[in-house]
Structure formats: structure tokens, C-alpha cells
A = this chain, B = another copy of it.
Amino acid sequence: MNNIYAIIMAGGSGTRFWPLSRKRTPKQVLTIQGDNSMLQETISRLKELVSLEMTYIVTNKQQMNVITQQLPGLSKQNYIIEPVPRNTAPCIGLAALHIHNIDPDGIMIVLPADHLVKNFDRFHEVVRTGIEVVEKYNPLVTIGIPPTRPETGYGYIQFEQSDKDLPDNVYSVKTFAEKPNQETAELFVKSGNFYWNSGIFIWRASRILSEIEERLPDQFHQLQRIKDAIGAPNYQQVLSNYFKRIRPISIDYGVMEVTSTPIFMIEGNFGWSDVGSWDELYRIAGKNTDGNVFTGEVATIDAQNNYIYSPDQLTAIIGLNNLLVVNTPTATLICPLDRAQDVKEIVEKLNKEKKTRYL
């Protein structure tokens, strides 16, 4: 039995939830549903699988303050700080260095801090299956989500039956497909052997490090320098120097799509949502009889199928349907729910116009 470590990636900026999410309060630290922030929710989902001592958060300096407030029980040693964002491959590589340094046989569960899972029990079963498979075959393991619609915003995993002796819900990965167009997405969903790429992974630290060494030698070179300094008094400076030099690349593009190591996909039928935008949040929320979802004080006349997030002030709506309103004390967003994705353009616009007080 190997030790199991959780690596929670919590460095994202989450502009898609503007104006609720801001630079210092990105999506993962927001309480978007229920009573806990998404990060707290992620931690509590893992509790049964991994002790808090073996749970690591990868984040950045800007977010440390709010995250440490949200996780009073987590030791300072369990934070891995990225000096700059370099996408998921360097992020996961950095975390793998730390785990490997503590425990060369350690198994990592890598997962984003800002997803929602409805069924914790099924989630635990799926992850335990993943750990079993890793212990038996030392592969790369990913979790695929059975698609419920032809979503063009996700990558897909094409899978097939494996010739290995695997549990029923574990498949062999054939290919990774990038975000498809609408037509292709519809074909994927129809085919039945394309699942959504959840970005949740299970593997040995040693396995992913040798993958990075083989497929991303350039990045690995910088990571080695950092590894050599772990525990040394100049660690922070070395980290800062070398991490900065790493070229950004995603783990999917840099490793998963190009590796010759077997990849297994486990069916993640645990009510997953990446809550990637306000309209996705509307989709998964409980609705009132008019199809509305309200947070805070809302008054309406002739208003149906709206998502109104207004925790701090009153929002009044007359004669409007399918609308998204996010009302915060300093900024308010109003748009049709099906244009919620375009909030990124507003954020870009404000950035360009240097209206940083709203970002």
C-alpha cells in the first residue's frame, strides 16, 4: 500500500465569474453554492480519502491570504506556491517534486479546486478504483465524465475496452480530443465512447516526473534545479528563478496526448460539474416554480428562468426572462444567460481601459 496525497490546484484567476470573482477572490474561494467555498468543498470531498496532513494546495502569493483564512486547519508546509502561472504541466510537476521528495512511492490525486461533485460516495469509489489501478499497473489515470450534452467548452477523451484485467468502469484511453466544434461535439456524444476530460488525475509522483522528463525535457530541466533546492535556505529564490523560466504548457497537451505509457480512464459518474460559467451554475441549481434561481433579496414581476445573484442589495426585475444578473456592491453584470461566457470580454475591456479597480 502506497501513501496517497491530494494535490489541489488552486491558482486559477476565474474571470468567468466576474464581477463576483476578482483578482484576489477567484472562483475557488467563492461560496457559489451551499455554505462552503469551492475549495473548502473540494477539501471536504477528499477527507475520507486523504488526511489533511497529506493534502497540498498549489496556489500563488496573491491568493494565500484568503485561502489560509478558509483553511485554518492546514499547515503552512502544505502550500506549494507558484511564483508565476505556467499552466498545468509545470504546476503538477512542481507538486510531484515535493511529493517525490517526501515519499518516492507516493500516489497523487491531482484535482482542480473549483469543481463541484454531487455524489461524494461515488466519487470516493471512483478515486479508490483509480488508486488500485495505479498500484497494480503504474499507469497514468484520468477521470472521464459521461457527457450530458454536446458541450463545446470541454476537451473529450476517446476510450475503448482494455485487454487488461480491469474493473468494469475502467477503460483504456485511445485519444484526447481538444475542445470540438458543435457538429463534432454532437458526434462525440452520440458515439458513446467519448467522455468529458475532467482534469482529475491519479498517478505516482515518480511516474508523472518521468513522463515530464521524457516529453518535456526543457521544463524538466528547470524543475530539477528547483528539486535540488527543496529544504535548502535559498529554496524560495531558486524556485522564483527557475520556475519563471519554464515555458507554459498544459498537462494534456504536454504529456497526456503524446505519451506512450498506458492511460486508463475511469468513468466519473458522480454528478460532476466544472461550474465553468454563470449559466452552468444556473443549469445545476435548484429552481423555483418560475424557473428562477435567486441569491439574496430579489423582487420580480413577470420574470422567468432568470439567475439573479444579489447577496448584498435588492435587485428588482420586471418583464425579463433568461437573464443573468450578478449584483455586487461595486459592479453589476447583466446579460442573457446564454451569453454568460462573454463576461471574459468585459473583463478584457476593463483591463484594456485600465479600470483595474473593478478587476
CB distance from A180 to the nearest CB of B (A): 24
Report how far A136 CA is from B320 CA in the complex, Å. Answer: 56
Identify which of B301, B332, B336 contacts A316 (C-beta below 8 A): B332
Segment from A27-35, A37-45, A83-91, A340-348 that makes contact with B = A340-348
A331 to chain B: closest residue by CB = B314
Most buried by B among A313, A316, A333, A355: A316
B310 touches A342 (CB 8 A): no
Which residues of chain B are near A355, meaning CB under 8 Å? 297, 299, 314
> A323 in the interface, Cβ–Cβ < 8 Å?
yes
Tell me the residues in window 318-359 of chain A with beta carbons closer than 8 Å to chain B beta carbons: 318-320, 323, 325, 327, 329-336, 339, 342-343, 345-346, 349-350, 355, 358
Identify which of B317, B329, B339 contacts A318 (C-beta below 8 A): B339
B332 touches A320 (CB 8 A): no
A335 touches B349 (CB 8 A): no
A313 touches B331 (CB 8 A): yes
Which residues of chain B are near A297, meaning CB under 8 Å? 355, 358
Which residues of chain B are near A301, meaning CB under 8 Å? 342, 345-346, 349
Report how far A164 CA is from B19 CA in the complex, Å. Answer: 67
Report how far A262 CA is from B332 CA in the complex, Å. Answer: 55
CB distance from A344 to the nearest CB of B (A): 10
A333 to chain B: closest residue by CB = B316
Interface size class of A (residues with CB under 8 A): 20 to 34
Which residues of chain B are near A325, meaning CB under 8 Å? 332, 334
B299 touches A346 (CB 8 A): yes
Q: Per-position contact with B for A3-40: 1 when CB-CB < 8 Å, else 0?
A: 00000000000000001000000000000000000000
Which residues of chain B are near A350, meaning CB under 8 Å? 299, 314
How many copies of this chain does the complex contain? 2
> A60 in the interface, Cβ–Cβ < 8 Å?
no
B332 touches A318 (CB 8 A): no
Which residues of chain B are near A317, meaning CB under 8 Å? 334-335
CB distance from A352 to the nearest CB of B (A): 11
A343 to chain B: closest residue by CB = B318
Other A-B pairs beyond A297-B358, A314-B358, A316-B333, 14, CB < 8 Å: A19-B316, A299-B349, A301-B342, A317-B334, A318-B335, A318-B339, A318-B342, A318-B343, A318-B346, A319-B335, A320-B334, A320-B336, A325-B334, A329-B329
Task: Spell out A's residues near B (CB within 8 Å).
Answer: 19, 297, 299, 301, 310, 313-320, 323, 325, 327, 329-336, 339, 342-343, 345-346, 349-350, 355, 358
A-B CB contact pairs (8 Å), 23 listed: A19-B316, A297-B355, A299-B355, A301-B345, A301-B349, A310-B332, A314-B331, A314-B332, A316-B332, A316-B343, A317-B335, A318-B336, A318-B343, A319-B335, A319-B336, A319-B339, A319-B342, A320-B334, A320-B336, A323-B334, A325-B332, A325-B334, A327-B332
